[in-house]
A and B are shown apart, each in its own frame.
Chain A
Amino acid sequence: MNLMHLSLLEQTILVLGALTLFLSFALLPQARLTTMVHLFAWQGGLLALLTAVVASVGGNHHLYVSALLTLALKALLIPWMLHRLIRRLQLERHQERLDRQALVMMTGAALVIFSYWVVLPVARLELANTRNVVGLSLGIIQLGMLLMVVRRQAVAQVIGFMSVENGLFLAAVAATSGMPLVVELGIAFDVLVAAVLFGVFFFHIRESIDSLDVDLLTRLSEAEQEKLASESEGEA
């Protein structure tokens, strides 16, 4: 099997997919929140472009709608909302150094390899026209989750969450030329509502712990509960 059998547009899909994955990697160690939002917006834009290319390759007209939807939602609206939130929370200058950056990056690479391995049997079936982009998108999903694990800042976690959504969208576009329109609209609606809710939550969290470092949210862990209990026993 050779790349040469693919048309130029199909090759473009592969390149765009790979660039999307690269942006996920770039998000991981990014210290500045505003830059993260920019990168996320670019990822959304690439995704919209990719969707449009897939639409023109396969001639699915409803995909143009999802491309527009993605562009509007993930490249413009949500980044704009996040920017506004960052300004209102006065986090423009917030920097968060990632501990053990090299280790995190290597873990990311390992996750991508793992995703590839997981989806390999599916790709072997040669049912899809766009190769193993599904593996790539699973990689993006995993990287988004890794981002949520290694970051302590609530806004950064939300960007991770949203990039997981991007990965899912890529999977849907690449593997099946998009989901039925009803479902796609429903998903877009859910994503939008989630973004709004996240905004509300930032303020709640900051009100309650005076910071957006979610690692400080530990009151409910089982270990902490034990500690509280033993303290109250000590008082008694």
Chain B
Amino acid sequence: MVDFLNPTGWALALLQTLLFAAGAPLLVAWVKRIKSRLQNRRGPSLLQPYRDLHKLFGKEAVMAHTASPVFRAAPYIVFGATLIAASVIPMLAVELPTAAIADVIVLVGFLALARFFLALAGMDVGTSFGGMGSSREMLISALAEPAMLMAVFTLTMSAHSTNLSSVIEHVLNSGLLLRPSFLFALLGLLLVAVAETGRIPVDNPATHLELTMVHEAMILEYSGRHLALMEWAAQIKLMLYGVLLANIFLPWGIASTLSAGSLLTGLIAIVVKLALLGVILAVSETVVAKMRLFRVPAFLNLAFMLSLLGMLSHVILEVGA
């Protein structure tokens, strides 16, 4: 059981969160690098995002004179909410003290909070691009959220718990099982993750093309440390989805005891899994073209259908008849 007074546990949870924050830029750089290689380019160094963040933190934050306090506070809230969301996800080990709030609904709530302030900040200054980006972001998230919840419910129905830690443990304990529902939920969540983290084909993080940008449009007015926080939050979000997918569907390797050996295994396992996911993401972004915004609802409908099918096949095929 979870021991709330275990200082090592708390230390580990803290360490895990720090790892999350520190590793996120690396993951983004990794994806970029693989992508460059696939396109026959050399690509930036793996440390480039760190340099960018460092540069931005050193610069002055310029603010529009129409900006309200919301605009000023938004980067901190967005970053904070994303980081807290990241901290509840079991990355290295299950049964950490933070497992108590590692509930999927809490997680979705934190992410929604971050998104809400992001959208507010986009509209705050009153530029047309910001408003456009916010409205697009809200459209996408409104369509993505049901799909995500449906997929998550499929998982939680199998595990009889909405607690991430218990879900992972359940999957671990039941051994190698081919569950049709998990397959569909995985596919559905993958699509949702692509949409939520603003990757191709829904959004392209590499361009500032005014007609298509979503996330970039919202943070167009930010500069200096504010921009750094926003970018960092986006990177953490990508990693968050990666860890979530990797650890729920392929939890093998995650530490279930707090010994040094198993923790090291857990670390290696998650690094390998994330590296693989990064490769998959890079390949798919190279193969697939960005779709027009009008097609995004169809894309997310597909995600929803997959999640729904996951739930249906859980009910039809897996619940004892």
A interface, CB within 8 angstroms of B: 1-4, 8, 11-12, 14-15, 17-19, 21-22, 25, 29, 101-102, 105, 109, 112-113, 116, 120, 123-124, 126, 131-133, 135-136, 139
Other A-B pairs, 12, CB within 8 Å; known A17-B180, A25-B309, A101-B298: A1-B321, A8-B178, A14-B180, A15-B180, A21-B313, A22-B306, A29-B298, A116-B316, A124-B321, A132-B321, A133-B317, A139-B316
Asked if B178 and A11 sit within 8 Å, CB to CB, the answer is yes
B101 interfacial contact with A, CB 8 Å: no
The interface residues of chain B lying within 8 Å CB-to-CB of A102 are: 301
Contact indicator per residue, chain B 212-231, by CB within 8 Å of chain A (1) or not (0): 00000000000000000000
Contact indicator per residue, chain B 298-321, by CB within 8 Å of chain A (1) or not (0): 100100011011001101111111
The interface residues of chain B lying within 8 Å CB-to-CB of A136 are: 313, 316-317
Q: How many chain-B residues does the 8 Å CB contact rule pick out?
A: 25
The interface residues of chain B lying within 8 Å CB-to-CB of A25 are: 305, 309
Bound: A213/B288 CA distance, A = 33
Bound: A62/B181 CA distance, A = 31
The interface residues of chain B lying within 8 Å CB-to-CB of A22 are: 184, 306, 309
Asked if A18 and B320 sit within 8 Å, CB to CB, the answer is no
A-B contact count (CB 8 A): 75
The interface residues of chain B lying within 8 Å CB-to-CB of A139 are: 316
The A interface, classified by DSSP as helix, strand, loop or mixed, is: helix
The B interface, classified by DSSP as helix, strand, loop or mixed, is: helix
Q: A3-B179, A25-B305 are in contact. Are A132 and B317 (CB under 8 A)?
A: yes
The interface residues of chain B lying within 8 Å CB-to-CB of A29 are: 298
Would you list 12 pairs from A and B whose C-beta atoms are within 8 A, ordered by A residue? A3-B177, A3-B318, A8-B176, A14-B178, A15-B180, A17-B317, A105-B305, A109-B305, A113-B312, A126-B321, A132-B317, A136-B316
Bound: A124/B174 CA distance, A = 24
Bound: A29/B177 CA distance, A = 31
Contact indicator per residue, chain B 28-59, by CB within 8 Å of chain A (1) or not (0): 00000000000000000000000000000000
Q: 8 Å CB contacts to A: which residues of B166-210?
A: 174-181, 183-184
Asked if A2 and B180 sit within 8 Å, CB to CB, the answer is no
Q: 8 Å CB contacts to A: which residues of B265-321?
A: 298, 301, 305-306, 308-309, 312-313, 315-321
Bound: A116/B318 CA distance, A = 12
Bound: A53/B191 CA distance, A = 30
Asked if B309 and A21 sit within 8 Å, CB to CB, the answer is yes
Closest chain A residue, CB of each to CB of B304: A105
Closest chain B residue, CB of each to CB of A108: B305
The interface residues of chain A lying within 8 Å CB-to-CB of B318 are: 3, 14
Asked if A4 and B316 sit within 8 Å, CB to CB, the answer is no
